[in-house]
Structure 1
Amino acid sequence: MRVNTKLLPNSNFGWFCFGICVTATTIKIGNKIPGIYATLFLFQLLFFCLIIILPPKLTKYFHHRIPWAILASFLFLLFADTNQTLSQKLPKHYFRDFLKQELSRSPLSPFESRIVMGLVTGSTKEIPKDFKELAKESGILHLFAASGLHLGIFIGSIQFFGNLIFSKHRWLSILLSLGFGFMYLYVLNFPVSFVRAYLFAFLTLISSLFYRKIAVSDLLIISSATIALFCYSDFLSIGFLLSFSAVFGIFYLKPSLDQMFFKSNKSFLKENLTLTTVCSLCTFPVLVYFFHSYSFGGIWINYCLVPLAGILLPSLYLTLLLQSFLPSSLSLLLSDWIWIPASYLLSLFLKLFQSLSNFERAYKEWKIETTPLFVFSLFLILIL
């Protein structure tokens, strides 16, 4: 099977979004350069004239696509609000208050309750400082930070139960999962990695309703352009780069590794191995450049813990949902029973994490300039 490594958009709308991404990136990087807007405007005008002047045979592939990108670039320069952010406009605290109230009725210890708060809300502020430092050195802090993993598991769980209930009406299951997914996104204040994950799920599921398949290049570019338009302050942020670099590895690097090492024989363990490896490799440049540190042991620690987190999180969602629907008097009587599966999985997760992190974290910090390492790692990823 041939690996699809196409990076450029596959549709006209993808090229329209590509124009937004290129312009937003240029402005983000060169925002302190005087006359950046005028320079971009003139460059695009010259480029458009060049496309018209050149013979169609020389620009066969780009002749009908580049104008879409240039049009989008013009519109972005004219109308985009580069101060746009969703999180400042929608401060939400009631969801965390609701979780704290529900967890106070649970049999969990205060420490376990804080860990659950961190897992469900995707906020590292909720977990104890020493545990947070240990999670950082072990390379699993993303499990306690707002990441696409949380929203993916949440939407996947809703989709699973929706397919069981609406087996003959699949569109209802899709709308249900997207609706609850947006609610989850809303109450957590639109973190950029959640927005990326929701856009992926939305585009993929809506395309499947019409029996269409969206190209991965379009998926990446349309999602990036949407973030640039509606929450520009988060565009090219650390969270944005970590989230998109991980999925870039899944889309482009993972098929290559699968073909090289597991071409004829695949299994869950092997799939998890390549998935963990490519996510770790592709986030390496970002972590080294911004934080000057990296947990090499995080690759195999994630290999062990991420599948368990994929079981623990749905269990926590379901337990909290059941408890919230029970009257207070009945909840006190049944709380211990309701929390048995989630409590057991949480205990197993914490014990496994403690054992793995104490064994070998292989955490490395660089005191020197890491730009050469950043460039070399990017080059290595492209070679692979």
Structure 2
Amino acid sequence: MKKAYLYLENGQVLEGRSFGAVGTAMGELVFTTGMTGCVESLTDPSYYGQLVVYTFPQFGNYGICRADQESPHCQMGGVVVREACENPSNFRCEETVDAFLKEENVVGIAGVDTRMLTQMIRDGGVLNAVITTEEGEPDWDALKAYRVKESVENTSRKDILVRHPEGEKKFSVALLDYGAKGSICNSLLARGCEVTIYPYNTPAEDILAAGHDGVMLSNGPGDPADNPFCIQQIQKLFGKLPMFGICLGHQIMALAAGAKTKKLKFGHRGANQPAMDLETGTVVITSQNHGYAVDETTLAGTEGKLRFVNVNDGTCEGVDYPAYHAFSLQFHPEAHGGPLDTLTAFDRFTDMMKEGL
């Protein structure tokens, strides 16, 4: 099997086995703790520009099922695993992860110590890295200077798409696509919403003129502060329509309200993050994928009220905006993969649209 190399910006080099495409990929090295959701994570746009270390030791043991994809293509830059399964076993399996990554032109490296890499990231924070099947060292200056850029622009759809529920249409929702997972739209469709998916750079005036009942802000990759146009449009939409934001949408909503965001040391990525509802005291287990968070200390003086916090580190996991008829969540209530503890967040949104402003 062909060799592959993982170069870290701190100078460390790991040798492993190549799987997936041959070539070179540079990105931000992060880890995810999910034990399932292989296809979903590979196709989650929130991983754009990142090389992902999977902490679960065997990767791809149930193969690829295209119906589980969250977007049309693999979005991450590269994959780092302990063992890449060559003989998956599942009645839904259509192909191996190796074959899928080859088709998607995404490089992977197997046979490296993912436990050590995860501990390194936890101790020192995320760092840049290169996966390559080529001999010779990378451009170290370029590696150290790497930053995920233009991520929303490169993951948002370019045209407007309307999707209809199978049954009766109860609501019309504008979904602003910042790099949306398909399960968000599907969760709305299941509740009788006609969903119009708009590109990230759609003006607020176009949303308001279309006569929707509510606005959904999607997840997505990158630094939320890199999206000034999107922030300005949310400011124009505040108080005009009920609004629900998830992940990047949650962060952009907070920035629009006047709060600030911060980069986390190593982020939250996986399906086992506990979050507490400060209103009820209930703790839910959530699916998450983010490297930035709303700085809860900056909500003072805004219309935002802290609603959820992460039980592990106390970071902001959700904000309510009663004056704007809006709320947002850092975690993914639609899961895929992950627990369905907070799926009722979509019911809360439809209840808000039913009540109106």
Task: Tell me if both proteins adopt one fold, taking TM over 0.5 as the criterion.
Answer: no
Larger relative strand fraction: 2
TM-score by length of 2: 0.24
Higher helix proportion? 1
